[in-house]
Structure 1
Amino acid sequence: MGSKMKVIVGSQNPVKLNATRNVLDKIYPQLEIEAKEVDSGVPDQPIGLEITIQGAINRAKNAFKKGVDLSVGIESGLLEVPHSITGYLDLQWCAIYDGAKTTLGVSAGFEYPPLVIEQVLNGMEVGDVMDQVTGVDRLGQKTGAVSHLSRGLLDRTGNTEQCVLMAMIPRMNEEVYFHE
């Protein structure tokens, strides 16, 4: 691939942009990446598998434009998980769109403390509750709740990189995923 890979991320969140750049830099020798704020078309705090994945796909498709090779949509949401403490795990989904097909990937999931989930189920956003719990303003655009809860062993950028890389797997192995 001699030409530049042009990628657009459907969010101005620096974590989503940096995570995408970190992964795609390792795959494409020449990368041009930009961020564009787009509508996810889902609530600010998605709850459920379908709606969270739809948010990621909507971000990717709404960011796509002529002249870009790939658009990336990343959406965090709460997924109902049996046998968990609160009933929910937080997962980040990545959708990567090339104008024809979409590939998906998901990050490692983690559980929020019960008091966070209680407030989220009463209509608050995870980010706002975690800002209150930690005293860090806009934690989700910095190291993230996962960093706070894992005591720094995994930060939000690393967690987001997981879903981006997983969504790239079919594109890195096109011959076994998309053979005609």
Structure 2
Amino acid sequence: MEIAVGSTNPVKVEAVERTLERYEPTVAAVDVDSGVSEQPRSIAETVRGAENRARRAHAATDADYGIGLEGGVARLEGVPGLSLIMWGATTDGDRLEQGGGPTLRLPDDVADRVEDGAELGPVMDDLLGTEGVAESEGAAGVLTAGLTDRTQALSEAVACSFGSFVAGTYDGGPRP
């Protein structure tokens, strides 16, 4: 099974490799434009970025599947504050499926800076005195004291978007 990931970010590539390891995939990172802002600011924009990455990665390769992952922020109805959200999309060239990963509330001081136009990764780096938190544990790791991290969180989005292609329950196939 060949998979094209619509990103060269090592965390996103690892999320795909880790989640799909039982299928022994060949995973290729493909540098594509998400077609959305660097910091998506709604569910719709975050999903659109994941879909664009999946479609563009698939179109640029001979892979069986294209997978796109996107992190964003959004205000969610019934949930206080600004939330970090993660979405995945998978395509085989015909079907396109989406799935979400974990969602967590951002601390107010972080949310204020992001709502003023800053990107989450650099805000976290500034607060922590680090560089590249988005390519390591991510905000998810920092904000959960390591109970999850960005790779694991994105892995859930991979599982939820890719799962329908192998579960057999979406195409009238056998139930697992």
Give the shorter-chain TM-score range.
over 0.9
Displacement of 1:171: 1.2
User: Paired residue for 2:13, among 13, 17, 21?
Assistant: 17
Map of 1:177 onto structure 2: 170
Map of 1:42 onto structure 2: 36
Question: Alignment partner of 1:34: what SS?
Answer: strand
Q: 1:13 is matched by which residue type in structure 2?
A: N
Distance 2:50 2:97 in 1: 11
Matched, 1:120 2:87: no
Is contact 2:43–2:85 with CA below 8 Å preserved after alignment? Answer: no
Question: Alignment partner of 1:11: what SS?
Answer: coil
Map of 1:84 onto structure 2: 79
Matched, 1:104 2:60: no
TM-score by length of 2: 0.92
Distance 2:162 2:4 in 1: 14
Map of 2:133 onto structure 1: 139
How many residues are treated as equivalent by the alignment? 172
Displacement of 1:34: 0.6
Q: Go from structure 1 to structure 2 and tell me whether the alpha carbon gap of 1:9 and 1:66 turns closer, same or farther (over 3 Å shift).
A: closer
Displacement of 1:82: 3.3
Percent of aligned pairs with the same amino acid = 32
Distance 1:83 1:103 in 2: 26
* 4+ residue segments displaced more than 6 Å: none
Q: 1:75 is matched by which residue type in structure 2?
A: E
TM-score by length of 1: 0.91
Structure 2, unaligned runs of 5 or more: none
Structure 1, unaligned runs of 5 or more: none
Is contact 1:85–1:114 with CA below 8 Å preserved after alignment? Answer: no
Question: Alignment partner of 1:92: what SS?
Answer: strand
Distance 1:178 1:115 in 2: 46
Displacement of 1:58: 0.4
Map of 2:62 onto structure 1: 67
Distance 2:94 2:166 in 1: 16
Q: 1:179 is matched by which residue type in structure 2?
A: G
Q: 1:178 is matched by which residue type in structure 2?
A: D
